[in-house]
Amino acid sequence: MIKLHPDTYSFLTGIQENNNKIWFEANKPRYVEARKQFIDFIAALQDNIAKIEKIPAQDPSKNVFRIYRDVRFSKNKDPYKNNLGGWISRGDSPRKAVFYIHLQPGESFIGGGIYDPTPEELKAIRREIHFQGDTLQRIVDSKTFKSEFGGIFAEDKLKKAPQGFQTDHPHIELLKFKHYVVGKSIPDSVMQSDKLMDVCLKTYAHCLDFFRFLDNAIQNRE
């Protein structure tokens, strides 16, 4: 069973403590190897997910984020990320929910959904909730969903009803989200073990009803 490179966590811990060009250049071969192994893991994950549902062919090397940060508009001027992140595309015309894996010592997680939807996509998701909110409510209220994810990730959630919806809408809390994403934390010990693939696949399966609700919403947008 493929697993992540044993030096990956050590490298990420190092760059977190020494986020500068001198350290990175001295340790770049470690980064190159860690990235290669992570891409191999993403490729294997794609192959296994394709056995669960049909997904488009994709180049795994293009589904892993670069380590270099764009600091032009950020107060944080660290030149490098202290994590590795990769995703599995489930379709992009129109866009579908994606599955994501985030590797960072002490803060690793897996999950997915639609992060930072366009205004048109967000409108479509809220429209679907307006008409089919009971379906999404059953998904997020299910025992498995609550156990796995707790709920939808509430970053930037609106405090008031979104424009066009009444505060007494039966699914007002579901309508307030700006991102429709779920995730679960993964211990470092699991992220570095040969159990990670199975954990990813089981989590993916638990995400599917949520993903497909979002897929349908965007597919049916006006």
Domain boundaries, the chain: 8-219
Q: Residue 76 phi/psi, 5° resolution? A: -80, 110
Confidence of residue 222 (pLDDT cuts 50, 70, 90): low
Q: How confident is the model over 30-78, as pLDDT tens digits?
A: 999 999 999 999 999 999 999 999 999 999 999 999 999 998 888 999 9
pLDDT at residue 121 is higher than 80: yes
pLDDT at residue 130 is higher than 90: yes
Q: What pLDDT was estimated at residue 184?
A: 97
Q: What pLDDT was estimated at residue 19?
A: 97
pLDDT at residue 149 is higher than 80: yes
Percent of the chain with pLDDT over 90: 92
Which residues, other chains included, contact 119 with Cβ-Cβ below 8 Å and sequence gap of 6+?
Answer: none
Q: How confident is the model over 169-213, as pLDDT tens digits?
A: 999 999 999 999 999 999 999 999 999 999 999 999 999 999 999
Confidence of residue 2 (pLDDT cuts 50, 70, 90): confident
Q: Where are the alpha helices (DSSP H) in the chain?
A: 8-17, 21-26, 28-49, 119-141, 143-149, 172-175, 188-191, 196-219
For residue 5, what is the DSSP state?
A: -
pLDDT at residue 111 is higher than 90: yes
pTM of the prediction?
0.94
For residue 62, what is the DSSP state?
A: G
Q: What pLDDT was estimated at residue 213?
A: 98
Give the chain's mean pLDDT.
95
pLDDT at residue 1 is higher than 70: no
- Cis link prior to 94 (omega < 30° from 0)? yes
Six-digit token string for 216: 């349908």
Q: What pLDDT was estimated at residue 135?
A: 98
